[in-house]
Chain A
Amino acid sequence: MKSLDDLKKIRDAAQSKVTMRGKNDGIRILVGMATCGISAGARPVMTKLVEEIANKNIEAVTVTPVGCIGECAIEPIVEVLQGETRTTYCRVDVEVAERIINEHIIGGKVVQDNVIGKYRL
């Protein structure tokens, strides 16, 4: 350990190890992973989301599997929670998952093609 900067480097690099523990104020992505969701293909969607977040080094975003919210017919469902705002995407596949990350999480623009309003009113 030559200097304080060395310590800070280790600290910053190690942040990802612990930031998940504690209060999470960032964006939460929920993936419906009940039996209906899994059979509709939610597993590769979740994997894609997790991979994209890792590859693009996006901070303060967590991906959480959740249970069935009742709309089994339009699974896989992915929800993005940001503060009070809630966006629900339906029929999400790997490509849509990638778009959600690129357009919504990074770009801040909702992916209109898959919002629940397109399938249910």
Chain B
Amino acid sequence: MSKHSVVLEYKRCRGCTSCIKCCPTEAIRVRSRKATILSNRCIDCGNCIRVCPHKAIKSVGDSLGKLQEFEYRVALPEPALYGQFHNLDSIDIVLNSLLKIGFDKVWEVARACELLSDFQRQRIAGGPAKLTPLISISCPTVLRLICLRFPKLLGHTARTILPMELAAILARREAAEETGLPPEKIGVFAIVPCSSKVTAAHSPEGLTRPVLDGAFAIRDIYLRLLSPMKQLEESEIKPMTSAGILGLNWAICGGESAARLGDRCVSVDGIENVIRMLEEIEDGRLPEADFLELSACTQGCVGGCFNVENPYAAKMRLKTLMHGLPVSRNRFLFQGAQRDIIFQDKQPQYLPALLLDEDREVAMSKHLRIQALESHLPGLQCGSCGAPSCHAFAEDVVMGRASEADCIFKMRERMRTMAGVSGADEYLPPPFRRQQGTVSSDR
């Protein structure tokens, strides 16, 4: 199985090249009329899923059938889930309904968010950080982006685990105590807003072994929840939620920063903006910032590709649900060695997927060949070769992923020399013809 949760529905893909240009790490190529993903470059941002006009690129959460493999099942809903419902009066309605669709216990990820925030505040109170700004790693896509393109900043990333990971560890412990079952008979599943977290559930960057048994997409759970939520009698709604405003707020970009209380924080959403910000931080251009919260999706987790509702509406609904809630209900009170529960047990590593060669001298001569080839390409970024740009194509040729003849302009040159055809123009689509045509406007 691929490490990534972004998959291609083969029949639907027509090889249209829409996706290749929106990929921030240039990880997609079209070959034989189908998109293919360079797996070592994919950071699971979901851009290609959003842009595909044929709905051929998808992301899948785990199948709900996986629940059957366990004797006791715990749901870890991410706070973004609460923002998906119309006219929801109370989070308890969602949580009680989760118990009707196959889960035996619910442990809110928002609680783990509050624990992490409390831990961060204790850190801040303990004195100034050695290395600023601290970069949040609560978006797994951002962490993978840093591993791939900003390795120098790995030292700035927080050493803590993801909220859903902390929730999983604590929920499994609690469930084992309550039921007396061995931990492996307990299935712990997060309900997540994006493909990136499904990938993280299976192959965590900061943990040697996964602590979750899987992750379900919010949209899959949403459909199952609707009817139990409607049927739930007032008397059946038990008070279950134990998160406050700060925890819920983590679903929105800026929420994690706000929970730090009074720190100099920068919150950035959208993968392109995140890249721009990382460029600046890398050059030390924002020395006054203490903390950097980066979300690959617009507006934060409410913008994830597994959500049902649009990010802005979900944000508004979450804010409504916050009315009347306590500010925070969870404190990180572990002492001594117990505190290590919150830390990664493995350092995220540099992924040299963009490197031309391990040997710098070889890399340099490869670059020279790329430059030479690129100078003979038209620079139209037409995508006909299946690469996102002429530069990426030249790189592909030198790296052995494509052949020079894959460029239709190179092909035309060959046709000309071989057959002596002077006006190969007519064989080309209008944008590429030398002779000028005109477009008449609509009436």
Question: Do A and B interact?
Answer: no
Chain A residues packing against B (C-beta within 8 Å): none
Chain B residues packing against A (C-beta within 8 Å): none
